[in-house]
Amino acid sequence: MDMPNSTRITASLKASLAEDFFSLLTRAGEFCHKRGERLFVAGGIVRDLLIDIQSKDIDLVVEGDSHALADEIARLYNAKITLHQRFQTAKLSVNGFTVDIAIARKETYDHPGALPKITAGTMEDDLKRRDFSINAMAVSISGDTYGHLVDPLGGYADLKAGIIRILHPESFSDDPTRIFRAIRYEQRFGFEIEPETLTLLQEAKKHIPALSADRLRYEFECILDEQAPEKALCRASRLSVLKAVSEKLVFDMTSAGWFKSVRENNSLESPLPSLYLASWIGGMADSDAQRLAARLNLSADSRKTVGDISKLKKRLINLRLPGLLPADICRILDSITPVAIEAFTVISPDSMVKERLRMYLASLRHIRPILGGDELIELGYSPGPDIGKALQKIKNARLNGVVSTRKQEIEMAKNLLGRSSP
């Protein structure tokens, strides 16, 4: 296997980064070299570089003082900096880019699912503690070795062969989130989880219950952020990984079809990950959805979506009634969050329901009376709940096409609130 040489790697690095950013890395490397420290880019960026994919994040690893390096970059580039003492990491925000800096480290785990204990080590130590061989490569960006690929664990060969391989048998039990990561990378790149890794993955499913809700939710967020999340979710379902997350949790071909429709439907406005989640939950029994929401400790917004989906399902029967007027549709849907309604425009099998949901999203939900409460008060009516009720009636009349002009609305307000006061 022809390993790319340092000239080729430097050229790829340069090509994949904005010019400013490439020079930032070079200056950071010079700073470390003067201090007698080695500096590397490591992990996902190296993997992506070697298969010509643009990487989202830059991870730097220094065999030395990460905070001194972060301070220097912050000084040179006027960057915003966040330091974490416990893990000796730093996060920099430079002209919209994020750079993470860590020290080269060794890790030990007290028990499965625990956060790691950290001690300083070399770049090679640091690569050994990583998840998969394809993520366990680094490129030197300091001193005479600038541009050298550090690949002690066969990452390049696995990347070229399309294999996801863990680095030691305890990898999944040390960190069960890697079960989700293995599936996510396998499906993102169209790779294959190597057979022994797959056997260990299956054995390690029993450790998933030990994962905290926050760590587990993060893994789902990462999956839902993928370009085609249905691939990873189908695979996780087939491997019974989802059942290890929450009893009865599955992801089938129907849900996969909904995910594709969600993605291809240009009229949907909510963020894709929320729409995916809403459509998946839309196909579950309420009790299963509640259990998943609790297990992942979903945000207040997502919990509202879960609750609204359940409400919406119960109200669908009303949305099928013949002869509904626009105001009736609004009465059914007004308290439901739009993401839940958008998801049902995709997953509902009923064309009449779909049409009504679409009409609500596209126009009905935006319709308001021309008159506002303030105007009615200016007309001489006293503030109070009657004004709110009248405005609701005027809105309904407007929705149903009974009134369309300001004059007609004023006339209706007078009829509703009495003609004597103004």
Provide the CB-side half-sphere exposure for 342 (13 A, CA).
24
Residue 178 binds ligand CTP (CB under 6 A)? yes
Residue 135 binds ligand CTP (CB under 6 A)? yes
Which residues ranging from 397 to 416 are in contact with ligand CTP (CB under 6 A)? none
Q: What is the rounded distance in angstroms from the CA atom of residue 402 to the CA atom of residue 101?
A: 64
Number of residues that bind ligand CTP (CB under 6 A): 13
- Which of 63-71, 127-135, 294-302, 389-397 is the region at the interface with ligand CTP (rule: CB under 6 A)? 127-135
Residue 197 binds ligand CTP (CB under 6 A)? no
Residue 151 binds ligand CTP (CB under 6 A)? no
Give Cβ neighbours of residue 416 (< 8 Å, ≥ 6 apart). 389, 390, 393, 394
Which stretches of 281-351 are assigned E, i.e. beta strand? none
Binding residue for ligand CTP, selected from 13, 38, 62, 131, defined by CB under 6 A = 131
- Residue with smaller CB distance to ligand CTP, 223 or 234: 223
Give Cβ neighbours of residue 44 (< 8 Å, ≥ 6 apart). 55, 56, 57, 59, 135
The contact mask relative to ligand CTP for 32-71 (x = CB under 6 A, - = no) is -----------xx-----------xx-x------------
- Residue with smaller CB distance to ligand CTP, 126 or 342: 126
Residue 12 binds ligand CTP (CB under 6 A)? no
- As a residue count, the chain comes to 422
Assign 410 to helix, strand or coil.
Answer: helix
C-beta of 327: minimal distance to ligand CTP in Å? 47
- Residue with smaller CB distance to ligand CTP, 28 or 136: 136
- Residue with smaller CB distance to ligand CTP, 120 or 362: 120
- Which of 90-98, 143-151, 173-181, 235-243 is the region at the interface with ligand CTP (rule: CB under 6 A)? 173-181
Residue 89 binds ligand CTP (CB under 6 A)? no
CA dihedral 311, 316, 318, 319 (to 10 degrees): 120
> Angle, nearest 10°, between helix axes 300-319 and 338-347?
50
Q: What is the rounded distance in angstroms from the CA atom of residue 274 to the CA atom of residue 298?
A: 11
Residue 147 binds ligand CTP (CB under 6 A)? no
Q: What is the rounded distance in angstroms from the CA atom of residue 286 to the CA atom of residue 277?
A: 14
Residue 194 binds ligand CTP (CB under 6 A)? no
C-beta of 178: minimal distance to ligand CTP in Å? 5
Q: What is the rounded distance in angstroms from the CA atom of residue 18 to the CA atom of residue 15?
A: 8
Cβ neighbours around 80 below 10 Å, total: 11
Q: What is the rounded distance in angstroms from the CA atom of residue 341 to the CA atom of residue 360?
A: 9
Residues contributing to the site for ligand CTP (CB under 6 A): 43-44, 56-57, 59, 130-131, 135-136, 175, 177-178, 181
